[in-house]
Amino acid sequence: MKKFIFAVMAALVMVSAFTSCEKKSSKDENKRNFTLSYSDLEAQSVKLTVLPADTTMPYSYGIIPENVFDVDSVAKWERSYFQSMVRVYEFLGLDATYAAIAERGNMEDEEMEISPNTAYVFYAVGIDTVTLDLTTPVEYINFTSPKIE
């Protein structure tokens, strides 16, 4: 009888442990805002693809050498980029608004020049085109360009 009671108690403890260890999270915690990928990786070029979950959301993307990437600095980098691009667009006589500069929709097979034998971070982030505040967490993937042979 003691073995039976012990077995029942052990089973109750196991059930309790499994249910109390259940991950409590919001429904959207693991939701990705972007699908990022790269292809045709060569020593000096790569093709990048950004597929946003919401194709109407304004966003920005970039590649940065891994040794200088800091996820907490992306907001500052993006703000500086947009402010600089407004001046370029004004100089060229184009629509110089943050909304005109931001990406929207799928961006596929954008060819980028890179340096050989370098580790990179390819990132995307949602951006508010009025305040330039980030509207999503920074999402990123890493890749390393091959050496020139």
- What pTM was computed for the model? 0.76
pLDDT band, very low/low/confident/very high, at 22 (cuts 50, 70, 90) = very low
Is residue 122 very low, low, confident or very high in pLDDT (cuts 50, 70, 90)? very high
Strand 139-144, strand 119-126: pairing: antiparallel
Highest averaged pLDDT of the listed ranges 31-35, 52-56, 98-102, 109-113: 52-56
From 23-37, 56-70, 133-147, the region with the lowest mean pLDDT: 23-37
Nearest Cα to 49, choosing from 110, 103, 4, 100? Answer: 110
